[in-house]
Amino acid sequence: MIKTDLISDKITKEMIHGRYKDLAIVEGAFRNCKTEQLEMRPIHVRLESRTRGHVLVVMLAYLIIRELAQRKLKLNQYIEQQAAVIKECVRALSPNGSICWQVGKYVDNGSIIPLDAILYPIFVELGLKMRNRIVWHFEHGLHCSKRFSGRYETVNWFTKSSEYVFNLDPVRIPQKYPGKKYFKGPNAGKYYCNPLGKNPGDVWIIPNIKSNHVKKQYILVNAEKCRTKVSKEKTMKGKILYSPIEMNKSFDALLKAKSWQESRVSYWVTKSEKLIRKTLTMPPEEQKKEIESAGEIPIFSYNQTDFVKDRVAVEVQFCSL
């Protein structure tokens, strides 16, 4: 039973029931604001003025989301707009260039339409070739009630020609078993995988920020306890400064307690690019011998990442302000 203080001759029972059903929209708005989408809860603010400011920013963000939802384009209008933009991008693209187009899905009356499939013919008609369809998976967002919750978008990579640039080394990720070697056969003793890291693949997982996330661990570091370094500089001699060594120890203790580990891969290189490619998959000791036998000077190097966990890498750096 639904009760109201409105006069019966000014509102019908159907209108009352309709307004009651609208409460779901209000509850949805609060859920969007308070939980993972906008995170209204002022976890890191304490003063009343800052809390009010935080809530105001969140409410403004929600109003933008609501306005965009009300101005939702029809699918054919969206495709026309995208086609015009894509055509101009392809015109300006260099012969060796690439285009990465990130899209999600279009929802019409509960029906899902994958936008990358809709836009693919436009790129092909303009002469582009698809090199990768990258699935970007994220572990947060709105929850659906009548279907599985959407947790991914796609990044479609197109090139204008076959002579495109692709540098894999800068984006390699740590190997699952970095020290693994062949134990028999002609490659016995050599690394089983690329010592610089492995190809990240075409599924990218973006983890949600949770209580044990690295961002939260940084907040837990008590910087004042790390103020132990006595300055020897003339301009501030005797002043107590933050010690990078103590700061590193604090980060190390907190992150390793949450299963974050250092990643380090050592190897030998030389000035000869051809020789580097030849020795790339060899163990470090064999790399050095091969370089020396070729009459070149071996140069020791390594790839090191401060903390790695679940395909996420973190580097800790300090600066003076």
CA-nearest of 132, 119, 128, 125 to 159 is 128
Pairing assessment for the beta strands 203-206 and 129-138 based on DSSP bridges: parallel
Q: Which two tokens stand for residue 302?
A: 């390594």
Looking at the DSSP bridge assignments, the partners of residue 129 are 159
Instruction: For the chain, 321 residues long, give each residue's pLDDT as a single digit of tens.
Output: 667 776 667 777 777 777 777 777 777 776 667 665 566 665 566 678 877 887 788 788 878 777 776 777 788 988 999 999 999 999 999 999 999 999 999 888 888 999 999 999 999 999 999 999 999 898 777 778 888 988 899 999 999 999 998 888 888 888 877 777 888 888 888 877 887 888 888 998 876 655 455 555 555 677 788 888 888 888 888 888 888 888 888 888 888 888 888 888 888 888 888 888 888 878 888 889 999 999 999 998 887 888 887 767 777 776 554
Over residues 79-111, the pLDDT tens digits come to 999 999 999 999 999 999 999 999 999 888 888
**Whole-number Cα distances in Å, 280 to 17, 199, 261, 265, 286:** 71, 15, 25, 12, 10
99/86 Cα distance (integer angstroms): 9
254/220 Cα distance (integer angstroms): 8
> CA 160, 164, 168, 169 torsion: positive or negative?
negative
Domains (range + CATH), the chain: 8-70 (no CATH), 75-166 (3.40.50.150), 170-314 (no CATH)
pTM: 0.51
Over residues 234-246, the pLDDT tens digits come to 888 888 888 888 8
